[in-house]
Amino acid sequence: MNKLSLVKIRPDQNYVAYFLTMACNLRCPYCINIHNGGLRHGNASGKKMTPGEWIRAADRLVLRDDLPLTLQGGEPTLYNGFYKIVSEVKRSIKMDLLTNMSFDVDEFIANVPVWRFKRKAPYAAIRASYHPGQNDIETLIKKTKKLQDAGFKVGIYSVLHPSSKVSGHILKIQERCARLGIDFRTKEFLGEWNGSIYGTYRYDGAACGKTMKMCECKTTEIIVGPGGDIYKCHSDLYGNRDPVAHILDGDLTAAEIGTFRECRHYGKCNPCDVKVKTNRLQIFGHTSVEIKNVRGL
């Protein structure tokens, strides 16, 4: 087994995400994992790290108090070893979880230490997504209540789709959750719908662009796919291309991940990476990547 140096996350690095699996038990038609033709199912069946490898990968991190390790996917709780990881990683690592909450809530409560998902933050550490037509809001509300009663901080999130029928439904659910003491937040719809592009983007033509270009790109995030590869951005992750390093490389440094690198996929950027958004401190105006020197292929 190779010796791993500690990876100290820099002050300008805002997000550390381990995508335990791309597999999911829902089939949302707009799934971000298949954005721009990426292969969700192809990725789901590719190489995967073992629970022991994920634990080593998490144990080598040195995170700031305000920066958790986010477990996501796909549906991360489908990963066989999810409970082992959340229980056995060193205690100083706090985690966030992005989930569709399809897991068995009693099993979750019995196997997940509450402290792992407990820290001071302006949003819940466990963020469940509500996908109308895919998961049932009554079940989500019941599970959220049960988790709250067990001491977990849980929020439900839903994308405010431009269709007035869907957004009207979501806003009604939000009002109902407020009455029930449940933190229900909406997220901006990003991408194309009915011929229009939604979202505020820092770089013209980077997401949903008509022409592919070259550029240099630097990320503020550490994005690790199911096989342990580290990617520059979500577009590379979902497209399964151009990893920059591996999370179990012995001498990996955070600085090496956050440097400008050549990219030939400007135009195919994932909206999440180039939109202007709120950072972890809830301050608006942040973009996950910095792009320069855009030019024709």
Q: Which is nearer to ligand SF4, 206 or 247 (CB)?
A: 206
Peptide bond before 74: cis, by omega within 30 degrees of 0? yes
User: Does residue 245 interact with ligand SF4 by CB under 6 A?
Assistant: no
Which of 217, 252, 257, 272: binder of ligand SF4 (CB under 6 A)?
217
Cα–Cα distance list, 67 to 89, 120, 163, 272, 279 (Å) = 16, 10, 35, 19, 11
Q: Is 23 an interacting residue with respect to ligand SF4 (CB under 6 A)?
A: no
Total residues contacting ligand SF4 by CB under 6 A comes to 27
Q: List the one residue from 4, 8, 10, 31 that touches ligand SF4 (CB under 6 A).
A: 31
Residue of 191, 213, 189 lying closest to 267 (CA atoms) = 213
Kindly state the smallest distance separating residue 44's Cβ from ligand SF4, in Å. Answer: 10
**Contact call for residue 21 and ligand SF4 (CB under 6 A):** no
Return d(Cα 287, Cα 201) in angstroms, integer: 9
Tell whether the torsion through CA atoms of 163, 164, 165 and 171 is positive or negative: positive
Place of tokens 């009455």: 179
List 67, 101, 233, 272, residue binding ligand SF4 (CB under 6 A): 233
Partners of 157 in the beta sheet? Answer: 129, 185
CA of 171: how far to CAs of 70, 130, 138, 185, 256, in Å?
Answer: 27, 12, 15, 9, 43
Q: Closest CB to ligand SF4 among 126 and 217?
A: 217
Nearer to ligand SF4, 229 or 236 (CB): 236
Smallest distance, Å, CB 157 to ligand SF4? 11
The runs of H, that is alpha helices, within the chain are 40-44, 51-59, 82-88, 105-111, 137-149, 164-180, 234-239, 254-257, 271-274
List binders of ligand SF4 among 75-104 (CB under 6 A).
75, 100
Q: Does 26 bind ligand SF4 (CB under 6 A)?
A: yes
Stretch that binds ligand SF4, among 50-58, 107-115, 142-150, 258-266 (CB under 6 A): 258-266
Query: Which of 28, 39, 109, 245 contacts ligand SF4 by CB under 6 A?
Result: 28
| Least distance (Å) between residue 80 CB and ligand SF4 | 17
Q: How far apart, in whole angstroms, are the C-alpha atoms of residue 262 and residue 235? A: 14
Q: At what angle do helices 164-180 and 137-149 cross, to 10 degrees?
A: 30
Chain residues binding ligand SF4 by CB under 6 A are: 24, 26-28, 31-33, 74-75, 100, 129, 131, 206, 215, 217, 232-233, 235-236, 263, 265-266, 268-269, 273, 289, 291
